[in-house]
């Protein structure tokens, strides 16, 4: 009998998160999956036959909130549908950050585990950043109630390793099956993020834009083409690319392309496959660069990137965004063009472990 599983994930047309959902659904073709996602962000999922998109009723909750009605129509519908699911899979990377109304989310997770008595699986995640003990303690209780939680970095695992159902495996995207060889072109891919809405990084925005511009100029000067890639329009990647492009003159723009991800996963992957080098700010630009045997130079905006760099014993160079003003672009170019690809055979093999407990649950005969 086919199981019905609700997917909880970040759905804002972000390449990394969309890959998680793709990998999950394709691994279990005889399982029915359900995902809450606004129609405008559902392009990546339209060709997944075992995934049903649940589109929220637009605007109604906003209207109710404005007239101070303490009721959510979409939340009511979601709760009514919970009884039909055999499990909930929470899949994503930075899904446990201490931001916003985190207490409400903890309450929802606790309710799923206890009142609805639906097993919860947490796959591919890291924990934090967090700033107080209560956040940690509340999530420790949630994880203790869950059927399984598999972190993608040692730092997160060490925080909760005494809980029997807590495990560790390399990032889910290492297990991506679409990794056939493609001939590299004379191109560097540069992935960017927008620092404007990242409080700790906003002071470095001008330096970041200027330095990415310098990097592009350095590669163009050395007869390379440059392909900027946006992973998520909603988070400002496209805006950053446009700001960088404004710093380049017309003679340089002849060697520039820009790819804006809108849900076409295969096109996005082909951009990285065809490159020789990847300058990665996005976490999964780094992972995909390694996966496709490219030379990768990470620009680190979050501890999650550094933690994986440590876990995989990455020996090539990297720079924290806080230090980007001091980055010597000519040295970066020499370092990148003289480096060898990062070997990730163990990560590719071990990333399958994220799904081992879910495998047993889905394949269990009732």
Nearest to 287 by CA among 347, 333, 227: 347
The span from the CA of 293 to the CA of 296, in Å, is: 9
Each residue's pLDDT tens digit, 53-77: 987 766 555 655 556 555 465 565 5
Whole-number pLDDT of residue 60: 57
- pLDDT tens for 133-175 read 999 999 999 999 999 999 999 999 999 999 999 999 999 999 9
pLDDT at 68: 53
Give the model's confidence band at 123: pLDDT under 50 very low, under 70 low, under 90 confident, else very high: very high
What confidence score (pLDDT) does residue 82 get?
Answer: 74
Does the pLDDT at position 208 exceed 50? yes
Q: Do domains 4-170+348-363 and 187-343 have the same CATH topology?
A: yes
Q: Which residues have a Cβ under 8 Å from the Cβ of 41 and sit 6 or more positions away?
A: 11, 12, 13, 234, 263
Q: What is the pLDDT of residue 217?
A: 97
Given a cut of 60, whether residue 300 has pLDDT beyond it is: yes
Is domain 4-170+348-363 classified as CATH 3.40.50.1860?
no
pLDDT tens per residue across span 320-345: 999 999 999 999 999 999 999 999 99
Specify the fold of 187-343.
Answer: Rossmann fold (3.40.50)
Domain spans of the chain, in order of start: 4-170+348-363, 187-343
Answer for the pair 204, 323: CB distance below 8 angstroms, yes or no.
no
Q: What is the mean pLDDT of the chain?
A: 91
Edge-to-edge strand list for the sheet holding 32-36: 51-54, 32-36, 4-8, 87-91, 120-125, 148-151, 166-168
pLDDT category of residue 228 using cuts at 50, 70 and 90: very high
For 34, phi and psi rounded to 5 degrees?
Answer: -135, 135
Q: Tell which residue, 92, 87, 79, has the closest CA to residue 33.
A: 87
Query: Is 75 or 297 the better-scoring residue by pLDDT?
Result: 297
Whether residue 9 contacts residue 92, with contact meaning beta carbons closer than 8 Å, is answered with yes
């Amino acid at each position: 009998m086919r199981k019905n599983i609700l997917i909880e994930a970040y759905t804002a047309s972000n390449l990394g998160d969309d890959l998680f959902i793709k990998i999950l659904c394709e691994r279990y073709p005889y399982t029915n999956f359900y995902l809450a996602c606004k129609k405008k962000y559902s392009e990546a999922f339209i060709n997944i036959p075992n995934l049903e998109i649940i589109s929220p009723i637009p605007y109604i909750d906003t209207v109710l909130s404005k007239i101070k009605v303490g009721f959510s129509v979409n939340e009511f519908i979601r709760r009514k549908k919970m009884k039909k699911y055999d499990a909930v899979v929470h899949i994503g990377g930075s899904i446990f950050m201490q931001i916003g109304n985190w207490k409400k989310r903890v309450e929802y997770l606790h309710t799923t585990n206890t009142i609805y008595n639906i097993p919860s699986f947490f796959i591919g995640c890291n924990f934090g950043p967090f700033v107080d003990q209560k956040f940690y303690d509340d999530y420790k209780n949630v994880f203790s109630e869950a059927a399984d939680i598999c972190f993608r970095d040692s730092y997160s695992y060490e925080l909760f390793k005494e809980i029997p159902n807590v495990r560790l495996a390399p990032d889910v995207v290492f297990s991506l099956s679409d990794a056939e060889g493609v001939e590299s072109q004379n191109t560097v891919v540069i992935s960017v993020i927008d620092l404007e809405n990242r409080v700790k990084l906003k002071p470095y925005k001008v330096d970041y834009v200027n330095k990415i511009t310098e990097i592009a100029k350095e590669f163009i000067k050395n007869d390379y083409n440059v392909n900027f890639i946006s992973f998520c329009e909603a988070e400002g990647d496209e805006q950053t690319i446009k700001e960088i492009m404004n710093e380049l003159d017309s003679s340089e723009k002849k060697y520039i392309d820009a790819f804006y991800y809108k849900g076409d996963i295969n096109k996005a992957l082909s951009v990285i496959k065809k490159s020789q080098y990847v300058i990665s700010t996005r976490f999964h630009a780094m992972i995909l660069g390694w996966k496709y045997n490219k030379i990768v130079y990470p620009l680190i905006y979050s501890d999650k990137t550094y933690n994986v760099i440590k876990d995989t014993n990455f020996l090539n160079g990297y720079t924290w965004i806080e230090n980007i003003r001091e980055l010597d672009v000519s040295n970066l170019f020499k370092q990148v063009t003289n480096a060898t690809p990062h070997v990730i055979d163990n990560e590719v093999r071990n990333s399958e472990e994220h799904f081992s407990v879910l495998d047993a649950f889905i394949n269990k005969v009732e």
